[in-house]
Amino acid sequence: MLIAESILLTIATAATPLLLAAIGELVVERSGVLNLGVEGMMVMGAVCGFAAAALTGSPWIGMLAAILAGVLFSLLFGFLTLTIATNQVATGLSLTLLGLGLSSMIGEAFVGSPGVKLPTLANGIAEIPLVGQPVAGLLDLLAGIPLIGRVLFAQDPIFYISIALVIGVTWFLFHTRAGLVLRSVGDNHASAHALGTNVIGIRYLAVMFGGACAGLAGGHLSLVYTPQWVENMTAGRGWIALALVVFASWRPLRLLAGAYLFGAVSIGQLHAQALGLGIPSQLLSSLPYLATVLVLVLISRNRRLTMMNTPASLGQPFVPDR
Amino acid sequence: MRFELVKRSQHSKLFSALSPFLALALTVICGALIFAALGKSPVDGLYYYFVEPLLEVWSLHELAIKAAPLILIAVGLSVCFLSNNWNIGAEGQFIAGAIAGSILPVMFPDFQNAFVLPLMLLMGVLGGAAYGAIPALLKTRFGTNEILTSLMLVYVAQNFLDWLTRGPWRDPAGNNFPLTRRFHADAVLPEVLPSSGSAHWGIVFALVAAVVVWFMISRTIKGFEVRVLGESPRAGRFAGFSARRMVFFAFLVSGGLAGLAGISEVAGAIGYLQPVISPGYGFTAIIVAFLGRLNPLGIVAAGLVLGLTYLGGEAAQISMGLSDKVARVFQGMLLFFVLGCDTLIHYRIRLVHDALTAKRS
């Protein structure tokens, strides 16, 4: 039972950054903007989060810095694609290229320096005066439940945020007026504009949300998953997150399944490498990427599913007529 | 006060020509600011980056070596981007070409004659084209997004090369280093001007490819088809052009040229296979393609500029102790400015005084 429990835990840890980056990008794409810069925002979040935590000693400040870095980077993308209407695909690519370059420059001073790990939820809560200790004690108790106890009650705070974000985004998109407006902007920006909706403003907010999520995902990588800085440590996870949005056909709850499936694949290949089954480790390392291709093919074969769900204005620049 | 975009009735010829230079100037200004922020003299920094590599004959040869793969790949990408096919996996096709082209010298080292090199180059082209055909096939057959599939295949190619050089292709006499055996003399791409420096024939391939593709794009019906399908797929359909065939055409051309770049790099500059053979040429070439405004002749100039940033990065690291990572920041910034400046081609920017508009309404 102990092995199954720890495998579940590692899968959740591997899936969390994918889920975070994907849920942000899902909102961005629902507003009609295709931001291919997820990888760049994520890696900037990772390096800024790590640097801030190493300099201040506080992983919490690190997380805030990661989010801030993601938002600032997304604003760069927003200014180009929304304000001066550049090509979204090319601009997203350049965001990724710039992010990878800038992060390796910033991170050079931090290669090999000891990381600061974000505490688990219980340890974090225990630091709060008065109520902290009893609540933390309760969580520790619940974590004793076999198999699912630690998965549900003894993880890092970001895990809970990622789950809450998925539920929150589902509620926002499909049960609030603001969510309806956001989807209308993504499906037909000309009509939304004619109805008096501020298309550009809404898209800016969506892009910033996407940046915050990607930054948080990066912070999770460098402060929770592997608390250290390694150049290009996102290793294509931003791109996998983009594929997950297609896989989920732009529905937040399906992202959960996708992210955990990929978490399982990437953890599974690590375990297979450790067992030394005689399969080349490079083939196993390729599995998450091959799985992404396979999943994309399976999903896009079903033209109706993708056609029905793809935001109709996705990727098209909008310049209001006056 | 804010500004708004006003669509021009026609593309601005002036800004079409001016925008790459504007972007370069902005990058240089930002570069100077970065040098200052890092506590280095901006003048020295810019000198080592953009002037010093041009002063010596040997470093001009180095520039040709760095620019050759960038130009070859970017010329192919221009066909893709003009026809609205987003191949961003050129790095993978570069590796696939290098591997396919190396089959002869690595697996059949005793096969030594004048045919080896041409066969290697051919196999490099075919290897890159075949690898590029995968996203094309998936796009046409299943409607799969080619951006994501072509990029995912980069990681797969990198892992495959890593496995080859550490596993089956490792030189048994190589002291356990992850390298293949050194290519024999018949398998090495010769130097263009052996008396003056080390630049190999890759740069000649690049220049020929640029001229051929430029002619194809601007003077033939096929090039017209590329541009029509890129700008308006609907109009292309009415003209009887096949979008499916164009996807294959674009990916095969760009994959083939990336493959040629890969085998030229391995047979010319390196001389054997190793786990990592490219400092990101396939991605930098995207910047080259856009800086060259997707025009193969412009791409030649852009390839030289981006090649210069690689050399400048090394020079500044040696002379000023500046991180070579700064070069990648330069490259990333450049693409941003290029895309931003291109807006001026299609739009006029008008300043709007909010106080005035408020009074009027």
The pLDDT confidence band at residue A34, using thresholds 50, 70 and 90, is: very high
Q: Collapsing DSSP states into helix, strand and coil, what is residue A318?
A: coil
Q: Tell me which of A86, A95, A198 to substitute to probe the interface with B (most B C-beta atoms closer than 10 Å).
A: A86
Q: What is the mean pLDDT of residues A45-54?
A: 95
User: Could you tell me how many CB contacts below 8 A there are between chain A and chain B?
Assistant: 132
* Residue A10 pLDDT > 60: yes
Closest by CA to A235, choosing from A245, A225, A247, A246, is: A225
Cα torsion at B264, B267, B268, B274 (round to 10°)?
A: 100
* pLDDT over 90 at A278, yes or no: no
Is residue A220 domain-resident? yes
Residue A149 lies in a domain: no
Interchain CB distance below 8 Å, A296 and B144: yes
Residue B85 three-state SS: coil
Beta carbons of A97 and B335 less than 8 angstroms apart: yes
Mean pLDDT score of chain B = 91
Surface of B (86-105) touching A: CB under 8 A: 86, 88
Neighbouring C-beta atoms of residue A138, cutoff 10 Å: 13
Q: Looking at the partner chain, which of A84, A105, A319 has a beta carbon nearest the beta carbon of B329?
A: A105
- Its domain, for residue A209, covers 2-118+156-309
Quote the minimal CA–CA distance from B164 to chain A in Å. Answer: 10
**Do residue A319 and residue B5 have CB atoms under 8 angstroms apart?**
yes
* Model confidence at B361: pLDDT above 50: no
Give the tens place of pLDDT for each residue, B273-296: 999 999 999 999 999 999 999 999
| Domain membership flag for residue A11 | yes
* Nearest chain A CA: its distance from B142 CA (Å): 5
Express as a percent the part of chain B with pLDDT over 70: 98
Among A111-115, B226-230, B269-273, the range scoring the smallest mean pLDDT is A111-115
Residue B138, judged by CB atoms within 10 A of its CB (0-12, 13-18, 19+), counts as: buried
For the residues B39-55, what does the mean pLDDT come to?
87
Residue of B nearest to A81 (CA): B340
The band of B357, judged by pLDDT with boundaries at 50, 70 and 90, is low
A177/A195 Cα distance (integer angstroms): 14
CB contact under 8 A, A289 and B149: no
Number of domains in chain A: 1
Specify whether the CB–CB gap between A290 and B152 falls below 8 A.
yes
- Return the minimum-mean-pLDDT range out of A4-8, A146-150, A183-187, B315-319: A146-150
- Judged by a CB distance cut-off of 8 A, whether residue A108 touches chain B is yes
State phi, psi for A31 to the nearest 5 degrees: -90, 5
**Position A32 in a domain:** yes
> Is A318 inside any structural domain?
no
| Residue with the larger pLDDT of the pair A149 and B184 | B184
Instruction: Identify which of B148, B167, B286 has the shortest CB distance to residue A243.
Output: B148
CB B13 within 8 A of CB B357: no
Query: Domain for residue A299, yes or no?
Result: yes
Categorize the per-residue pLDDT at B1 as very low, low, confident or very high, splitting at 50, 70 and 90: low
Q: What percent of chain B has pLDDT over 90?
A: 65
Q: What is the dihedral of CA B80, B81, B86, B88, to 10 degrees?
A: 80
How far are the Cα atoms of A103, A183, B44 from residue B39, in angstroms, in the given order? Answer: 18, 47, 12
Render pLDDT for A281-303 as a digit per residue (tens, 0 to 9).
889 889 989 999 999 999 888 87
**List of domains in chain B:** 2-360 (1.10.3470)
What's the CATH code of the domain at A208? 1.10.3470.10
- Give the mean model confidence (pLDDT) for residues B152-169: 95
A153 Cα to chain B: minimum distance (Å)? 35
Say if B82 is an interface residue toward chain A (CB within 8 Å): no
Secondary structure of B91-150 in HEC code, one letter for each residue: HHHHHHHHHHHHHHHHHCCCCCCCCHHHHHHHHHHHHHHHHHHHHHHHHHHHCCCHHHHH
Smallest CA–CA separation between B222 and chain A, in Å? 24
Report the distance separating Cα A282 and Cα A38, nearest Å: 25
Residue type, A233: M
Is there a contact between B165 and B158 (Cβ–Cβ < 8 Å)? no
Cβ–Cβ contact B348 with A under 8 A: no
Q: Which residues of B200-222 are buried (b: 16+ CB within 10 A; e: fewer)?
A: bbbbebbbebbeebbebbeeeee
Q: Say if the Cβ atoms of B328 and A297 lie within 8 Å.
A: no
* Burial environment of residue A79 by CB neighbours within 10 A (0 to 12, 13 to 18, 19 or more): middle
Give the distance from residue A123's alpha carbon to the nearest chain B alpha carbon, in angstroms.
Answer: 38
Ranges of H-type helices in chain A = 2-30, 38-56, 59-78, 88-107, 121-126, 132-142, 149-153, 157-175, 177-187, 189-194, 199-220, 237-247, 252-275, 281-301, 303-309
Q: Is residue A233 part of a domain?
A: yes
Residue owning tokens 């693409």: B335
| HSE value, Cβ hemisphere, 13 Å, CA-based, for A149 | 12
* Cβ contacts of A90 on chain B, cutoff 8 Å: 286, 290, 335, 339
- Count of Cβ atoms closer than 10 Å to residue B293 Cβ: 18
Please give the pLDDT value at position B348.
84
Chain centroid to CA A322: how far? 37
Which chain A positions have a beta carbon within 8 Å of B309's beta carbon?
none
Per residue in B109-132, pLDDT (tens digit) is 999 999 999 999 999 999 999 999
DSSP string, B10-71: S--HHHHHHHHHHHHHHHHHHHHHHHHHTTS-HHHHHIIIIIGGGSSHHHHHHHHHHHHHHH
A79, closest residue in chain B (CA to CA)? B340
Give the position of tokens 């990427």.
Answer: A289
> What 3-state DSSP class applies to B72?
helix
A134 has pLDDT over 80: no
Q: DSSP letter string over B144-206?
A: --HHHHHHHHHHHHHHHHHHHHHTTTS-TTSTT-S-PPPPPGGGSPPBSSTTT---BTHHHHH
Per-residue pLDDT for A56 more than 50? yes
Helix (H, G, I), strand (E, B) or coil at B350: strand
Amino acid present at B338: V
Residues of chain A with pLDDT > 70, as a percent, come to 98
Structure tokens at A261: 């499936």
What pLDDT, in 10s, does the model give residues B87-107?
Answer: 999 999 999 999 999 999 999
Distance from CA of A70 to the nearest CA of B (A): 17
**Mean pLDDT over all residues of chain A?**
89
Lowest-pLDDT choice from A96-100, B261-265, B315-319: B315-319
Contact (CB<8Å) B142/A101: no
**Is A142 a member of any domain?**
no
Question: What SS3 class is residue A270?
Answer: helix
* Interchain CB contact of A98 with B (< 8 Å): yes
Judged on CB neighbours under 10 Å (0-12, 13-18, 19+), A134 is: exposed
The DSSP output letter for B2 is E
Say if A111 is an interface residue toward chain B (CB within 8 Å): no
| CA–centroid distance for B147 within its chain | 16
Report whether B75 contacts B296 (CB < 8 A). Answer: yes
Q: For residue range A256-273, what is the model confidence (pLDDT) as tens digits? A: 999 999 999 888 888 888
Burial A47-78 (b: 16+ CB within 10 A, else e): bbbbbbbbeeeebbebbbbbbbbbbebbebbb
- A110 and A50 Cβ atoms separated by less than 8 Å: yes
| pLDDT, position B301 | 95
